[in-house]
Amino acid sequence: MMKMSKGEKVFEAVNIALLIFLCILLLYPLVYIVSQSFSSPEDVYFGTVILLPRNISLTAYEEILKRDEIWRGYLNTIEYAAIGTVITLFLSFTSAFALSRKRLTGRKLLMTYFIIPMYFSGGIIPLYLLIDSLGLMDTIWAFILPAVLSPWNVIIIRTYMSSSIPFEVQESAMIDGANDLKIFVSIVLPLCKPVLAIMTLFAVVGYWNSYFNALIYISDEEKYPLQIILQNILIEKDTLAGGMTDISSAEQAMISESIKYSSIVVATLPILFIYPFFSKYFEKGMMVGSLKG
């Protein structure tokens, strides 16, 4: 091992200190929110929580989780995320595979067709009229279909296929009699595990956090996703707190403030659990597929 010079030691020390500082900046908001959610409503309301929980209390969680609509929202969101992710992955990878084939007729024209929506869109009103004319209002498809295909993701996947999977491997399979479907299923997809994992995570997180489509297209409360239900609970608590004049109004305001933090934890917890299983693919899945093409 080569001996480091004084300048190199200083440089490394500064880098380590800077990385530690950035880690603290990134972790503090997460720790703060979790601490607020487990602290007593009084401590949350008066701002006495700085880092760790004070007077640990589960009042906010009890207030949220005792509601049947929360569990219904969880089930709806899981259903939307599962169906939407499967459709998104199917359309994204099949489109990317077709665009990665150099012998595809009109390949450049199709690429232009995919790129245009990245810069121009019809806007919310034409999309609303389209969803309404298709009879999709108040259905799960109004929530899923508008976000089912991202041109940017298709381009990333296509670039990954073109730059990371040797065409000679596919060509040898073609000589052995394999058609495009066989090549896609047996060769391309197994070699696309890193980018497949990343796109799966992106799709799941996107549908899990989505609320705008539900806010516009869904009016049936039985079909509300979790994010809309949590928003309604917060609005309801704020309204009740503002409309009371007796001593319970202060208590309600304290609980309302605490619920804001516990609702963030409730909505984020499932994503935090699945993230570690996909994190190892981030560098390979995103960097390799975005450097070439």
pLDDT 10s digits, 9-26: 888 889 999 999 999 888
CA 148 – CA 207 distance, rounded (Å): 9
In this predicted structure, the answer to whether residue 38 has a pLDDT above a threshold of 80 is: yes
Scored b (16 or more CB within 10 A) or e, 74-97 reads bebbbbbbebbbebbbeebbebbb
Scan for tokens 């999709």, then name that residue: 136
Q: Check residue 290 and give its pLDDT.
A: 47
Assess contact for 194 and 157: CB atoms under 8 A. Answer: no
Does the structure show a pLDDT above 90 at 227? no
Residue 224 has a CB neighbour count (10 Å cut-off) of 23
pLDDT at 1 over 70: no
pLDDT for 289: 45
CA Rg value for the chain: 25
Q: What is the mean pLDDT of the chain?
A: 82
Give residue 92's Cα distance to chain centre: 16
Q: Quote the pTM value.
A: 0.79
Is the pLDDT reported for residue 3 higher than 60? yes
pLDDT attached to residue 16: 92
Distance CA 258, CA 41 (A): 5
Q: Per-residue pLDDT tens for 86-119? A: 999 999 999 988 888 877 788 888 888 888 888 8
Residues 140-177 pLDDT 10s: 898 898 888 888 888 888 888 888 777 777 778 887 77
- pLDDT for the residue 85: 93
Q: What is the pLDDT of residue 292?
A: 45
Return the pLDDT at 287: 52
Residue 244: what pLDDT?
47
Residue 245 is predicted with a pLDDT of 47
- Does the structure show a pLDDT above 50 at 280? yes
10 Cβ contact list (under 8 Å, min separation 6): none
63 compared with 91, residue with greater pLDDT: 91
DSSP symbols for the chain: -PPPPHHHHHHHHHHHHHHHHHHHHHHHHHHHHHHHHHS-HHHHHHT--SSS-SS---HHHHHHHT-HHHHHHHHHHHHHHHHHHHHHHHHHHHHHHHHH-TT-TTHHHHHHHHHHHHH----HHHHHHHHHHTT-TTSHHHHHGGGS--HHHHHHHHHHHHHHS-HHHHHHHHHTT--HHHHIIIIIHHHTHHHHHHHHHHHHHHHHH--HHHHHH---GGG--HHHHHHHHHHHHHHHHHH--STHHHHHHHHHHHHHHHHHHHHHHHHHHHHHHHHTTHIIIIIHHHH--
Return the higher-pLDDT residue of 238 and 192. 192
More confident residue, 107 or 134: 134
Q: How many CA atoms lie within 13 A of 284 on its CB side?
A: 12
pLDDT in the model for residue 232: 81
**Is residue 137's pLDDT more than 60?**
yes
Residue 30 has pLDDT above 80, yes or no: yes
